[in-house]
Amino acid sequence: MVAIGIVGCTKVTEGTAAPDTNVAPAYRSSVSASVSASSVTSSVRESQRIASVTTRAIRTSCDTLATTSKEAIDKVNAFVAAFNGGKNTGPAEGPAIDALNASASAVENSYSDALPGQMRDAMNTYNDAARQVANAIGTHASTGEFNRRVDRLNDAKTKALKMCVG
């Protein structure tokens, strides 16, 4: 035999339900302040994230420029030393051309979407100038033309590197 029992309590509260109008405005203000604080915190975090991504993009491109341009300039200087010494420049031409083009390509490939436009423009100016010096060496441009292109390369590199540190 199974006994089933139902036990329960029932108490009815009498009266009419009504909001506490004295507390409601404070509650609304509290909720509104909480939503605003949450929004500000999210905005600050997003700004910090964007700044971090931008800093990383700049550092990557600047490091690439600094390291690859040094090698390229060293190879160009070896070419110039051979030229100024009245030696055969042939053995120095290929390495200088390759280093200049490799530097321009490496810098170009270091870009990300987060790299600021002004920085990208300065890097592109360097890339173009490096390729123009490589072209001057490869086509045996006149000494005056070669020197003009080297001056543009040096100016472009200096400007881009100054942007990297400032």
Domains of the chain: 42-165 (1.20.120)
Query: Please, are residues 59 and 117 in contact by the beta-carbon 8 Å criterion?
Result: no
Q: Is pLDDT larger for residue 48 or for residue 121?
A: 121
Task: Give the pLDDT band (50/70/90) at residue 131.
Answer: very high
Quick one: pLDDT at residue 99? 98
Centroid of chain to Cα 61: 7
Query: Please, are residues 86 and 66 in contact by the beta-carbon 8 Å criterion?
Result: no
Model pLDDT for residues 11-27, shown as the tens digit of each residue:
656 666 666 666 556 66
pTM, rounded to two decimals: 0.71
Asked if residue 1 has pLDDT above 60, the reply is no
Asked if residue 158 has pLDDT above 60, the reply is yes
Asked if residue 133 has pLDDT above 70, the reply is yes
State mean pLDDT over 31-58.
Answer: 69
For 86-93, the CB contacts below 8 A with 24+ separation are 93/137, 93/138
Q: Is 72 exposed, middle or buried (0-12, 13-18, 19+ CB in 10 A)?
A: buried
Closest CA to 125 of 149, 96, 160, 100: 160
Tell me how crowded residue 66 is: count the other CB atoms within 10 A of its CB. 14
Quick one: pLDDT at residue 53? 77
Q: Is pLDDT larger for residue 79 or for residue 16?
A: 79
What is the C-alpha to C-alpha distance for residues 103 and 132, in angstroms, rounded to an integer? 12
Query: Please, are residues 130 and 99 in contact by the beta-carbon 8 Å criterion?
Result: no
Q: How many helices (H) and strands (E) does the chain have?
A: 4, 0
Centroid of chain to Cα 46: 16
Quick one: pLDDT at residue 40? 57
Model pLDDT for residues 52-76, shown as the tens digit of each residue:
778 898 999 999 999 999 999 999 9
Look at the alpha carbons of 141, 144, 147, 149 in this order and tell me if their dihedral is positive or negative: negative
